[in-house]
Each structure stands twice: as C-alpha cells, then as structure tokens.
C-alpha cells in the first residue's frame, strides 16, 4: 500500500484547481476574550498551505474546533483562527459562515489562484462525527463537491473515523500533507528500532488514559519515567498513602502488575509538591512520597525527582531517544510548574533524538517559554501519537492508502 504525497499533487499541477485541505486548527481559546492562546497548530500547517498557494491552487481549509455537538455554536467558531491564519500567511483569508452551505460555496467559488478560504467548524454538522456510515457519507459527499483534490494535514485528527478524515478521501484524489508525513516519519522511528538507551517520560492525570501506551512501550524502552497525577496510582500500588491526591482506585492492581513486570524500568517520583487545595494560592510544601499528609494532594513532582529524572535522561551512556507525553504537574499554576519545566529542560538539553508527544506537553513547552527548536519534533496530535505508538490503526492514515 502506498500513500501519495503533497509533492505528488504538486507535480500533477494545481494551478487553478480547488484543493481541500483538512487541517487541525483546534487551538485553545481564552474563555473570557475568545483570543487564541497558542497558535502552534496553525503554524504547523503553513508549509502545506504555502506550497499549494505558491503553486496557484485555490485552497479551502476545513477543521474542527472544540466539541459543539453537531450544531452551530459561536463559542467554537473558526473566525478568529481564519484571522490569525491570514496574519501568518501575510495575505487575505476568506471566511465562510458555514461548512457546506451557500456561504461555503460562495467563498470557494470566489477564490482566485493562490488564495485561501477557511470554512466554518466541521463539527457544526452532525454528519462529521456520526457513527452512522450513511450520515457521515452524505456529509462527505457535500464536502467533496467543493473541491477537486484532497490533502490531509490534520495529524491530530487521523485517529478519528470522521467524515472529513475517513470518508472524504474516498471521494477525491487524496494526498498526505507535509505535517502528516513528518509525524508518521518521526513516530515510525520510535516504533521501529530507536537508538538506545530509549527513555520515555509519561505524565498527565490518569493511568487509564495511558495504559495502552504503557503496555505497548514497556517491552521496548530502557527506562519509563512516570510523573503527573497518574503517578499517585502507582505510588498507591507500592503501598504508599497519597492523601487526597488524584487516585484511580480501580487501576491500583493494574499498576502493581506493571511494576512487577517492568524489571525495574519504571521510575517513580521520590518527592512531590503537596498542597492543601487545588489552587495556586493554597499552602504547599515539598514532601517525600512516603510522607504525604492525609489532607493534602500532590500537584507536582519535587526537586529531587526532577534531578533524578534528569539524570536518567542523561545517564552514563546518554539517552539516544526520548519521547515525552504529559506534564509532570499542574503547570498552568506557577507554584506547580517547576517539575514540568525542569524535565522539559533536561530533555531539551539532551543530545538524544527528542520527541514531544503533543497535547498538554506541547502546550507546556510554549506556555513555559521554552525554545521549541531545542526539541527535534513537537507533535500536533497527543491522542493520535499515543494511538500510533500503541500500534492501533489510524483511520485517517488508512484512508490515504491506495
């Protein structure tokens, strides 16, 4: 099976042709102002868009934003995204008030060669996420009518069996964009024969969210460092009390089994920042993991753990491959950001091939002001990257195969 690429499409010639680009412009917005707080996903699709516009294509961009439940909701409009995309491209970007209606058709019809239009949120239409094949297919037919070729550059959505990702490629000549190709290339390197030592850092809140990837990676890695809220279920599995920290009681036995099977590969925190409440203003202290007060909850890994994790990332021979997914604490609150910052800096300073697995990890890199160029790759798809590493088929990638 082969996948045709953007370069194959460009070689055919795109001048004057209507090209539909599925992008992942699902950016975070400020709840009060509606302003974009992180434009990383918009910037990630620029190489594909500039290649198409430079070759004279008429480009219509599709994306989702949030979870509007199949009907229009101004809170999830792509209008501010279109405005930001125009700023980044340095050119006017048309905006359609709907996805497949009169406004979308008019916006696409009005495009001159080399121009871009952003169509309204795909998820304002029930057909996009429907589990009914016929309903999804009908929506895909409407999308297909707007273009002559399809490019998927939305890696963050390829693990979804949605109309614009899975059904639409079957209706048009289809190609993989620059971002999707890069993501697959990097993740294939991690699942193939990565250079060793291979160290994985996992954080985030729940073990249940990461169980599949832990099971898949444990036989392949040399060290697995676990922080974030999920570490407390592992600590409980070791017989420790975790106070009021986040805990998945139903996962304790699973964590105990993982620790027993890990052959010492799993490394857990030795100290944490424990607070009276989930608040930046709460009283908090660094405590050993065997001394977490019963009334306190852990909100970050402690400085001794950061030092230990940093040493494991460097080690005597030096880690040669590092994958990081999930923050080490509640980095959005300043008192609990040091763990994520310290581990991220250690990864950035490593001489290894370093991959940040999207989602909150990518957001943390930018929110904490770290140099993005210090990492070899920052994924745009947290869920998709984990699904890939678990070895699960990705519907959006399968749909591009010929």
Chain position carrying tokens 């950001």: 337
**CATH classification of 6-178 is 3.40.50.1260, yes or no?**
yes
Q: Cα–Cα distances in Å, from 249 out to 227, 232, 245, 300?
A: 17, 10, 11, 20
Catalytic residue (choose from 70, 101, 114, 383): 383
**Helix, strand or coil for residue 95?**
strand
Is 182 labeled as ligand-binding? no
Q: Cα–Cα distances in Å, from 242 out to 203, 246, 331, 387?
A: 17, 8, 20, 30
pLDDT (mean) for 18-34:
92
Is 131 labeled as ligand-binding? no
- pLDDT category at 209 given cuts 50, 70, 90 is confident
Q: Considering just the CA atoms, what is the radius of gyration of the chain in Å?
A: 22
Residue 137 is predicted with a pLDDT of 98
Burial 228-262 (b: 16+ CB within 10 A, else e): bbbbbbbbbbeeeebbbbbbbeebbebbbebbeeb
Lowest mean pLDDT among 156-165, 365-374, 389-398: 365-374
Catalytic residue (choose from 41, 84, 94, 223): 41
189 in catalytic set: no
Beta strands in 113-268 (DSSP E): 116-118, 149-153, 174-176, 198-202, 223-226, 266-267
Catalytic residue (choose from 43, 105, 171, 206): 206
Lowest mean pLDDT among 152-156, 183-187, 240-244, 365-369: 365-369
pLDDT in tens, 187-203: 999 988 899 999 999 99
Does position 316 have pLDDT exceeding 60, yes or no?
no
- pLDDT category at 22 given cuts 50, 70, 90 is very high
69 in catalytic set: no
Is 160 labeled as ligand-binding? yes
Is 24 labeled as ligand-binding? yes
Q: Give the span between the Cα atoms of 104 and 318, in whole angstroms.
A: 53
Q: What residues does 266 pair with on adjacent strands?
A: 224
Q: Give the span between the Cα atoms of 335 and 281, in whole angstroms.
A: 8
359 in catalytic set: yes
Residue 297 is predicted with a pLDDT of 97
- Predicted TM-score of the model (pTM): 0.89
Does position 39 have pLDDT exceeding 60, yes or no?
yes
Is 298 labeled as ligand-binding? yes
Is 13 labeled as ligand-binding? no
pLDDT in tens, 166-189: 999 999 999 999 999 999 999 999
Q: Indicate the Cα dihedral angle 3, 380, 128, 391, nearest 10°.
A: 60
Q: Cα–Cα distances in Å, from 330 out to 269, 279, 295?
A: 15, 10, 18
CATH code for the domain defined by 186-390: 3.40.50.1260
Phi-psi region of 309 (alpha: psi -120 to 50; beta: other; left: phi over 0): alpha
Contact status, residue 150 vs residue 169, Cβ threshold 8 Å: yes
- pLDDT category at 361 given cuts 50, 70, 90 is confident
Catalytic residue (choose from 156, 326, 359, 382): 359
Chain position carrying tokens 């963050």: 156
Does position 386 have pLDDT exceeding 70, yes or no?
yes
Write the DSSP assignment of 300-369 as a string of letters. EE-HHHHHHHHHHHH-SS--SEEEEES-SS-TTSGGG-HHHHHHHHHHHHSSSEEEE-SHHHHHHHHHTT
What percent of the chain is predicted at pLDDT more than 90?
A: 81
What percent of the chain is predicted at pLDDT more than 70?
A: 99
Domain(s) labelled CATH 3.40.50.1260 in the chain stretch across 6-178, 186-390
């Amino acid at each position: 099976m082969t996948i045709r690429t953007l370069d194959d499409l460009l070689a055919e010639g795109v001048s004057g042709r209507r090209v539909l680009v599925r992008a992942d412009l699902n950016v975070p917005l400020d709840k009060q102002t509606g302003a974009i707080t992180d434009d990383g996903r918009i910037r990630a699709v620029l190489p594909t868009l500039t290649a198409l516009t430079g070759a004279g294509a008429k480009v219509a961009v599709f994306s989702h934003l949030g979870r509007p439940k199949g009907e229009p909701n101004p809170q999830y409009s792509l209008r501010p995204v279109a405005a930001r995309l125009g700023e980044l491209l340095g050119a006017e970007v048309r905006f359609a008030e709907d996805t497949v209606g009169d406004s979308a058709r008019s916006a696409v019809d009005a495009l001159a060669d080399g121009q871009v239009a952003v169509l309204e949120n795909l998820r304002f239409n029930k057909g996009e996420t429907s589990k009914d094949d016929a309903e999804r297919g009908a929506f895909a037919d409407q999308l297909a009518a707007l273009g002559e070729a399809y490019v998927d550059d939305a890696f963050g959505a390829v693990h979804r069996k949605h109309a614009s990702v899975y059904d639409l490629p079957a209706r048009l000549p289809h190609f993989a964009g620059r971002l999707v190709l890069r993501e697959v290339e990097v993740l294939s390197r991690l699942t193939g024969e990565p250079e060793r030592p291979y160290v994985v850092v996992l954080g985030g809140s729940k073990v249940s969210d990461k169980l599949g990837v832990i099971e898949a990676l444990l036989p392949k890695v040399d060290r697995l460092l676990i922080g974030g809220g999920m570490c407390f279920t592992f600590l409980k599995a070791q017989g420790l009390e975790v106070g009021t920290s986040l805990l998945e009681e139903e996962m304790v036995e699973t964590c105990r089994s993982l620790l027993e099977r890990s052959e010492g590969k799993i490394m857990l925190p030795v100290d944490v920042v424990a607070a009276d409440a989930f608040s930046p203003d709460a009283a908090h202290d660094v405590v050993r993991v065997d001394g977490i007060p019963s009334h306190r909850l852990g909100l970050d890994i402690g400085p001794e753990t950061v030092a230990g994790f940093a040493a494991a990332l460097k080690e005597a021979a030096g880690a040669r491959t590092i994958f990081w997914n999930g923050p080490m604490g509640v980095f959005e609150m300043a008192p609990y950001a040091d763990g994520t910052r310290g581990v991220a800096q250690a990864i950035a300073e490593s001489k290894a091939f370093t991959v940040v697995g999207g989602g909150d990890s990518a957001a943390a890199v930018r929110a904490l002001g770290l140099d993005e160029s210090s990492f070899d790759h920052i994924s745009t798809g947290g869920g998709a990257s984990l699904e890939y590493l678990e070895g699960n088929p990705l519907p959006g990638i399968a749909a591009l195969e010929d």
